[in-house]
Structures are given as C-alpha cells and as structure tokens.
C-alpha cells in the first residue's frame, strides 16, 4: 500500500464477532486515491468489503535542513505552526546510517542531532 502511494498503513489487533481474533488494516490516503486503494485491498486480501471514512488532517509547515553534528551531516525536519518552530525531528534513516558508520547506537546520533537542532534553530 505504501508503494502504491498510501500516506501510512498500520494494523491493529481487534476482536471480531463471536470473539474471533482479527486484524484491522488501516490505510491513510488522499481523497483521489480512495478508489484505487480500496481496489488494491479487495484484490490482494481476503476481505469482502472496505469501510471508507473521510477525516480532516492538519499539518505543520515543514522544512528539512542539514545540520552538522559530531557524526556528520544529519537531515532534520523542522515543523512550524504560525511561523513558530514547534518541532525538530532528525530523519531516522540519516541517523541510522551515521550510527552504523560511527559504530554507535542510533539513539545516540538521534539525541545529538536533536540537541544541535534545538541549540541552533
């Protein structure tokens, strides 16, 4: 579903009728992709139906910047609300690569990138 353009996909363990275990598959997508995603679900799963719910989404204005850390350049997403920075989030994959190169834990690189972002932005 992600490769087909879904914004996010996740599974939740649920209890179905007659106390049967089940899995709820949730696919988040844009309005223009609903029919295509439903077709994919019905074609590639055993489901006989798909429920569609429209929801509203609010997003922070975002920008990515590269910051110099002791582990090298790390890309960090900056989220703004009303022009004010409210979120700084290092890119996980960049942290993962830097951690492998430095032979340290990913959380160490992530913490360092977060610290640099908070001090410089």
pTM of the model: 0.72
pLDDT at site 20: 95
The sign of the dihedral angle between the CA atoms of 71, 73, 74, 77 is positive
Q: Within 6-105, where are the H helices? A: 34-44, 92-102
- Return averaged pLDDT per consecutive 10 residues of the chain, 121 residues in all: 97 96 96 97 95 94 97 97 96 98 98 96 86
3-state secondary structure at position 18: helix
User: Which residue shows structure tokens 């960090």?
Assistant: 76
CA distance 57 to 1: 19
């Amino acid at each position: 579903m992600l490769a087909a353009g879904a914004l996010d996909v996740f599974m939740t363990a649920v209890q179905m009728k007659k106390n049967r275990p089940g899995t709820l598959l949730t696919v988040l997508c844009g309005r223009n992709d609903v029919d295509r995603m439903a077709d994919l679900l019905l074609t590639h799963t055993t489901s006989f139906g798909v429920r569609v719910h429209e929801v509203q989404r609010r997003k922070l204005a975002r920008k990515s910047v590269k910051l110099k850390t002791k582990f090298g350049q790390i890309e960090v997403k900056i989220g703004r609300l009303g022009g004010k920075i409210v979120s700084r989030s290092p890119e996980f994959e960049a942290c993962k690569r830097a951690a492998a190169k430095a032979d340290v834990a990913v959380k160490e690189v992530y913490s360092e990138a977060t610290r640099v972002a908070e001090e410089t932005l």
